[in-house]
């Protein structure tokens, strides 16, 4: 498959950021890493290999970015307010730099679906829900949608506005709600070790309370919070939902 790595100095983040691209055609799949990982994580853990049939047939073109979680919520030596500022800078990087990069590499009509596992699922869901005018859907795997799970108890307005389980119940903007309702939302998790199916059920209930169509897909008790799960989940959804 075609594979390209592109670097540029991000004005939003004030540092060089890489993006790896796989494929030549299809809708755009934007991958957000787990926890403290980098843009090549999904390749190292063979998830890209499992997506290869979809990439090579031109169904999907994949873009994977770096996380900056070690510069925000996973930085134990950083003040909570500064973590929130850095988080918002990451959002700006995606919206104002990565999305135009994807559009220029595909077309301005090409849909973008964002996906991630674990902490990447929360980021992916948040990125879609905040800007459904730019991003057309989300496949969130093994996530929790409460940013407080990662803030060590810190809470302010910026935590609130990046924590979907907090801000979605109070979202009343009709235009944004209709844009969200027009996207494709998949929430998937296992029910085995280190998964949190109840958190996924709660967030599904929040979406339902706002009339937001979505799919909640909870896999079995033998499905754990680990790479074999995500190597099965993501190809399954690409095969059956897109």
Question: Tens digit of pLDDT for each residue in 204-220?
Answer: 999 999 999 999 999 99
Q: How far apart are CA 139 and CA 27, in angstroms?
A: 14
Residue with tokens 């903007």: 173
Give the 3-state secondary structure of residue 76: coil
What is the rounded average pLDDT of the residues 16-23? Answer: 98
Strands, DSSP E only, in 161-209? Answer: 184-189
Residue with tokens 């939902």: 241
What is the rounded average pLDDT of the residues 60-65? Answer: 98
User: Exposed e or buried b for every residue in 139-152, given b needs 16+ CB within 10 A?
Assistant: bbbbbbbbbebbbe
Structural domain of 187 = 3-241
Q: How many CB atoms lie within 10 A of CB 206?
A: 17
Residue with tokens 């609130």: 160
Which pTM was predicted?
0.97
Do residues 126 and 162 touch, judged by C-beta distance below 8 A?
yes
Give the total number of structural domains in the chain: 1
Of 204, 170, 212, nearest in space to 187 by CA: 204
The pLDDT, as a whole number, for residue 61 is 98
User: Exposed e or buried b for every residue in 179-197, given b needs 16+ CB within 10 A?
Assistant: bbeebbbbbbbbbbeebbb
pLDDT band at 4 (very low <50, low <70, confident <90, very high): very high
Specify the CATH number for the domain of residue 130.
3.40.50.1820
pLDDT of 79-92, one tens digit each? 999 999 999 999 99
pLDDT band at 3 (very low <50, low <70, confident <90, very high): very high
Q: How many CB atoms lie within 10 A of CB 160?
A: 14
Q: What is the mean pLDDT of the chain?
A: 97
Do residues 121 and 192 touch, judged by C-beta distance below 8 A?
no
């Amino acid at each position: 498959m075609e594979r390209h790595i592109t670097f540029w100095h991000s004005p939003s983040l004030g540092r060089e950021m890489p993006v790896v691209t796989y494929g030549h055609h299809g809708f755009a799949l934007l991958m957000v890493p787990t926890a403290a990982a980098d843009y090549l994580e999904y390749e190292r853990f063979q998830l890209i290999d499992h997506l290869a049939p979809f990439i090579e047939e031109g169904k999907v073109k994949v873009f994977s970015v770096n996380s900056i979680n070690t510069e925000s919520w996973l930085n134990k030596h950083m003040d909570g307010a500064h973590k929130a500022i850095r988080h918002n800078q990451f959002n700006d990087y995606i919206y104002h730099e990565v999305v135009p990069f994807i559009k220029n590499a595909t077309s301005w009509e090409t849909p973008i679906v964002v996906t991630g596992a674990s902490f990447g699922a929360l980021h992916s869901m948040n990125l879609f829900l905040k800007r459904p005018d730019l991003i057309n859907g989300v496949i969130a795997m093994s996530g929790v949608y409460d940013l407080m799970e990662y803030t060590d108890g810190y809470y302010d307005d910026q935590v609130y506005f990046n924590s979907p389980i907090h801000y979605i119940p109070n979202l009343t903007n009709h235009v944004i709600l209709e844009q969200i309702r027009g996207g494709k939302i998949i929430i998937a998790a296992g029910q085995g070790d280190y998964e949190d199916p109840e958190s996924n059920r709660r967030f599904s209930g929040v979406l339902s309370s706002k009339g937001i169509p979505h799919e909640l897909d909870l896999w079995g008790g033998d499905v754990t919070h680990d790479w074999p799960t995500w190597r099965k989940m993501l190809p399954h959804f690409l095969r059956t939902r897109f």
